[in-house]
Amino acid sequence: MSEQQLFKVTIDNITIEVPAGTTILNAARQIGGDVTPPAMCYYSKLEGSGGKCRTCLVEVSKGSEKDPRPMPKLIASCRTTVMDGMEVKNITSEKVIDARAGVVEFLLLNHPLDCPICDQAGECHLQDLSYDHGKEGTRYEFERRTFKKHDIGPYIQLHMTRCILCYRCVYTADQLSKQRSHGVLDRGDHSQIATFIEKSLDNEFIGNVIDVCPVGALTDKTFRFKNRVWFLKPMDAHRDCPTCSGKVTLWNRGDEVYRVTARKDKWGEVEDWICNTCRFETKNASDWVIEGPREIDRHSVIAQGHYQGSVGMHTPTETFAAVNAGRAPHLLMDIHSVSEVNKDSSL
Amino acid sequence: MGVKLLLAKAHVEGIRGFDVYRREGGYQSVEKALKQMSPDSITEEVKKSGLRGRGGAGFPAGMKWSFIAKPEGVPRHLVCNADESEPGTFKDRYLMEFIPHLLIEGLIVSSFALNSNDTYIYIRGEYAWIVDILEDAINEAKANGFLGKNILGTGFDCEIHVHRGAGAYICGEETALIESLEGKRGNPRIKPPFPAIQGVWQRPTMVNNVETLASVVPIINMGGEEYAKIGVGKSTGTKLISACGNINKPGVYEIDMTISVEEFIYSDEYCGGIANGKKLKACIPGGSSVPILPANLLLKTAKGETRYMNYESLSDGGFASGSMMGSGGFIVLDEDQCIVRNTLSLARFYRHESCGQCSPCREGTGWMEKILHNIEYGKGKISDIDLLWDIQRKIEGNTICPLGDAAAWPVAAAIRHFRDEFEWHVNNPLEAQEKNYGLAHYADPIHVPVTA
């Protein structure tokens, strides 16, 4: 094989060169910002994931240099690889905006919207997605679907009503454990994540399904209703763990460890899978070597920040004058001169 | 009397058995193909014949065959799609039930052309009794040396396995069928890669409909060029149509695609007219997922020309004023039928059969059914009609597999052509519970603007 071939791809008028075989979504992630389509089911660490939620649909306005025909339908950017000279429209395409708003509406159709009592609130991808791409109201006037409660063990809480059927947890169990004991049962709008006969999920790494779940369908029972995520301070920490890398994020309040999760990158994806012992059983601050505050980027209200500078928001340094070539803001209308409000009425 | 290629011998006594089938000229194409032809020349004949996939999409079969990858040392498979579950379509059932050897014969020739040593028939679970018929036919063919090792001394080995589905419409989609054949949940795969490159067990796989594979037999017997002379334009050969609904003679008919829709419905040779002397209101010409047409657009195109029973003519005018040949499930509705109710039952079907993998189809099909249910039972609002239109628009084209489109098209077409009937339902909720909208103006001649 010769050196890796580079393909030129243009996404929303920004051109980038990526290795052959890269998906459109990953190319867009290299550009970053608003150009990146949202992804609810795709997970770069899970083989075979993606293509299901349809939020990452994009328009291909030019197939490639060799075959410039546009693709007839919108395509799932997470599962389509780039071609040389491909031109992709994401937020510059009205069709995409329209279709994506439709997908968001579909995803929220049967979602209970119980964010106020949901542990995922604040780090929920569906919340982010609906803020970014959804409409303010729903046109759905029917009862939302519910499911029979299904207990899957002492560590993991399953809320099937919140599930968007991204299949990530199924792939996680498939690829991390030797024996997958849960999956998708039934078909269509009544399909559900469950074990066929009620049983607990039992595997050293099964806790990772909580981290991959984009919504509050799978949450940590040891953290249930204990705190809101945005009140906690995320800290990078590690320990010598015989089963996993031991590299985690601790979610503290004061010195108390409320929960342990894997470290997630800026796309909300786990960096290193962690074991159940680290996640559920190791909640003393003394068990961990704390490295420092966790950088929470882009994702969710947690970035509102509790430490100036290192986590979350940076105070913007540029002032209006700085970005306006030194000119002070031009006053369009001086309210004092046109309004009688401040005049002394006795005059 | 049109040409009959597939069903010509269907009424011969005992044709289901090997001996009678062989006496009537069966298995000649196997002898011809295996002894005198090369796999590539068979594919070439199929290409020349212009045979189009009979499962619904109408893609040229020979071209599809030429796409199959031929990596060194990897087995290839032919899979016969007998998961015929489209409401209104029952042509493959008839074919397999009455002349099973025709399918087996076509499968052997096609397996040879594609070099498939293990060929599968994926049959829907509800066709339980046909499985026995097919297996008997396979055993008979094997006993007579047409299947198994070293067929007719040519050195070609082929086994045919019958695999039963478990009752899912979605498994008729070729990649869902492949998943199901592998023993997994029948979810459609994301394409590419296409099955011709990576299909069953990651091997190159060709999935074809029962009727398509059976049509290979006359193509080999008479030659591709002769076959292409039957029919008209790109609609070559004969097509099985399963006619049902309010007609005098429902059943499976073989047509050569040159007759008009009007002739097909009213002639005594075919449907025999509308039952009980009623009038024609609407028709779904190609199985439940294709757009429904009102009587006036069914018999004449928007340009005022006669509509014929073939791929091009049925789709003349696009979706605005045309429909599709689809899988040949010809459903006729008379003046007493309610389009809203018909659309509701189709929407219920697609909701039930959606696999639930991708969100627009999973959520959208259920939503459409609920709204249609409201309209049908007198609780609808005028805004619901526009809402339905918007939902179907957001499902269509945005899903992994064509089931989303198939669910959206019937709703779209019903609103497009029968909007006033929907509005009547909404505006007269009590009356709509007791009587139907009736024929109204749906059979009136359409004004054709004169063009210079």
Q: B1-34 burial string, b = 16+ CB within 10 Å, else e?
A: eebebbbebbeeeebbebeebbeeebbebbeebb
Residue B187 shares a structural domain with residue B249: no
Alpha-carbon gap, residue B108 to B99, rounded angstroms = 15
* Helix runs in A55-124, H state only: 94-109
pLDDT of residue A300: 62
pLDDT at A312: 46
Residues B162 and B308 in one domain: no
Q: Where are the domains of chain A?
A: 6-103, 140-225, 226-341
Contact state of A188 with B400 under an 8 Å Cβ cutoff:
no
Overall domain count for chain B? 3
In Å, what is the CA distance from B203 to each residue of A39, B43, B67, B75, B312? 30, 19, 13, 7, 34
Q: A178 is written with which tokens?
A: 């030797």
Residues B264-278 pLDDT 10s:
999 999 999 999 999
The residues, ordered by sequence, that sit 6+ positions from B92 with a Cβ below 8 Å of its Cβ are B82, B84, B209, B210, B211
Report chain B residues whose CB lies below 8 A from the CB of A57: 398
Res A1: pLDDT: 43
Half-sphere exposure of A174 (CA within 13 A, CB side): 12
Q: How many CB pairs under 8 A join A and B?
A: 88
CB B360 within 8 A of CB A102: yes
| CATH number (domain holding residue B392) | 1.20.1440.230
β-bridge mates for residue A159, sequence order: none
CB B395 within 8 Å of CB B410: no
Q: For residues B298 and B183, state if they share a domain.
A: no
Average pLDDT (B320-344) is 94
Dig out the tokens for B314 from the structure: 């049925």
Residue-wise pLDDT for B15-57, tens only, equals 999 999 999 999 999 999 999 999 999 999 999 999 999 998 8
Hey, what are B57's tokens? 């999409």
Q: Are residues B112 and B200 in the same domain?
A: yes
Q: Which tokens go with B119?
A: 């060929």
Q: Which of A97, A111, A136, A126 is nearest to A39 (CA)?
A: A126
Q: Are B174 and B195 in contact (CB under 8 A)?
A: yes
Q: How far is B102 from chain A (nearest CA, A)?
A: 35
Selection from B334, B330, B338, B331 nearest residue B276 by Cα: B334
DSSP class of residue B233 equals: T
Q: Quote the crossing angle between the two packed helices B359-376 and A94-109, to the nearest 10°.
A: 70
- Do B396 and B264 share a structural domain? no
- Is B441 among the domain residues? no
Closest-CA residue to A167 (of A317, A16, A39): A39
Across B289-306, average pLDDT: 93
The Cα A203–Cα A168 span in angstroms is 16
Contacts of A184 in chain B (CB under 8 A): 185, 356
What average pLDDT score do residues B106-116 get?
96
DSSP label of A329: P
Backbone phi, then psi, for A267, in 5-degree steps? -95, 10
> Can you tell me the distance from the alpha carbon of A173 to that of A281, in angstroms, rounded to the nearest whole number?
20
DSSP state of A253: E
What DSSP element (H or E) covers A194?
strand A192-194
Whether B360 contacts chain A with CB within 8 A = yes
Instruction: State which amino acid sits at residue A10.
Output: T
Domain that holds residue B318: 239-334
Please, what's the b/e burial string for A118-130 (b: 16 or more CB within 10 A of its CB; e: otherwise)? bbbbbbbbbbbbb
Contacts of B398 in chain A (CB under 8 A): 54, 57, 73-74, 99, 102-103
- Are B366 and B332 a contacting pair, CB within 8 Å? no
* Residue B244 is assigned to a structural domain of this protein: yes
Q: Which residue of B190, B352, B362 is in closest CB contact with A51? A: B190
> Do B178 and B262 reside in the same domain of the chain?
no
CB contact under 8 A, A109 and B354: no
Residues B208 and B244 in one domain: no
Two tokens at A18?
């990526």
Establish if B197 touches chain A: CB-CB under 8 angstroms.
no
Cα B322 to Cα B307: distance, rounded to the nearest angstrom: 10
Tokens of B3: 């040409």
CA distances from A18 to A48, A85, A86, B400 (A): 21, 11, 11, 26
Contact (CB, 8 A) for B380 and B371: yes
B404 touches chain A (CB under 8 A): no
Helix H segments across chain A? 24-31, 94-109, 125-133, 168-176, 208-212, 276, 320-323, 335-338
Amino acid in the structure at residue B442: Y
Return the structure tokens found at B50: 């212009």
CATH of residue B139's domain is 3.40.50.11540
Q: Which of B283, B333, B335 is nearest to B309 (CA)?
A: B283
For A82-92, b/e burial (b = at least 16 CB within 10 A) is: bbebbbbbbbe
pTM of the full structure = 0.90
**By 3-state DSSP, what share of chain A in percent is helix, strand and coil, each rounded to 5?**
25, 20, 55
Per DSSP, what are the bridge partners of residue A293? A235
Q: Beta-carbon neighbour count of residue B244 at 10 Å?
A: 18
For B415-438, write each residue's pLDDT tens digit.
999 999 999 999 999 999 999 999
Q: Would you state the pLDDT for residue A3?
A: 65
Q: What ipTM was assigned to the predicted interfaces of this complex? A: 0.91
Q: How far is CA B244 from CA A15, B87, B127, B286, in A?
A: 56, 10, 19, 11
**A191 chain-B contacts, CB cut-off 8 A:** 355-356, 362
Place of tokens 């490295």: A291
Domain shared by B315 and B193, yes or no: no
Q: What is the dihedral of CA B360, B361, B367, B370, to 10 degrees?
A: 170
Q: Which of B315, B334, B353 is the last residue of a domain?
A: B334
Would residue B201 be called left, alpha or beta, if left means φ above 0 and alpha means ψ between -120 and 50 degrees?
A: left
Nearest CA in chain B to A57: B398
* pLDDT tens-digit map of B192-246: 899 999 999 999 999 999 999 999 999 999 999 999 999 998 999 999 999 999 9
Q: Rounded to a whole number, what is the distance in angstroms from the first to the last CA of chain B?
A: 38
Closest Cα to residue A234, out of A266, A258, A211? A258
CB B199 within 8 A of CB B178: yes
Residue A2 is given by DSSP the state: -
* Cβ partners under 8 Å of residue A140, min gap 6: A105, A109, B367
In a domain, B124, yes or no: yes
Handedness of CA B186, B192, B198, B202 (dihedral sign): negative
Of B186, B202, B229, the residue that ends a domain is B229
B267 and B381 in a single domain? The answer is no
Spatial contact of A9 and A88, defined as CB atoms under 8 Å apart? yes
Q: Is the pLDDT of residue B75 over 50?
A: yes
The Cα of B361 is separated from the nearest Cα of chain A by a number of Å equal to 8
Count other C-beta atoms under 10 Å from residue B380's C-beta. Answer: 23
Segment B122-132, tens digit of pLDDT: 999 999 999 99
Both B184 and B252 in a single domain? no
Angle between helices B91-98 and B128-143 in degrees, nearest 10: 40
Q: In this structure, are residues B260 and B308 in contact, taking their beta carbons and an 8 Å threshold?
A: yes
B190: chain A residues, CB-CB within 8 Å? 50-51, 76, 79
- CATH of residue B244: 3.10.20.600
pLDDT tens, per residue, chain A with 347 residues: 456 789 999 999 999 999 999 999 999 999 988 899 999 999 999 999 999 999 999 999 999 999 999 999 999 999 999 999 999 999 999 999 999 999 999 999 999 999 999 999 988 999 989 988 988 888 999 999 999 888 898 999 999 999 999 999 999 999 998 888 899 999 999 999 998 877 788 888 999 999 999 999 999 999 999 999 888 888 899 999 999 999 999 999 888 999 999 999 888 899 999 999 999 999 999 999 999 888 776 556 676 655 544 444 455 666 677 777 777 777 666 666 666 666 666 55
Residues in chain B with CB shorter than 8 Å from the CB of A188 are: 351-356, 362, 365-366
Three-class SS of residue B235? Answer: strand
DSSP-derived letter for residue B68 is -
What is the predicted pLDDT for the residue at B227? 94
The domain made up of A140-225 has a fold known as: Alpha-Beta Plaits (3.30.70)
Min Cα distance A196 → chain B (Å) is 14
On whether both B94 and B224 belong to a single domain, the answer is yes
CA distance A138 to chain B (A): 11
Fold held by A6-103: Ubiquitin-like (UB roll) (3.10.20)
Q: Which helix (H) or strand (E) holds B293?
A: strand B293-294
Question: The tokens of A66 are what?
Answer: 């060799």
Same domain for B294 and B428, yes or no, is no
Please give the backbone phi and psi of residue B152, each rounded to the nearest 5 degrees, phi first. Answer: 50, 30
Residue finishing a domain among B229, B250, B273: B229
Task: Give the nearest partner residue to A54 out of B356, B367, B398, using CB atoms.
Answer: B398
B446 domain residue, yes or no: no
Please report whether residue B85 resides in a domain.
yes
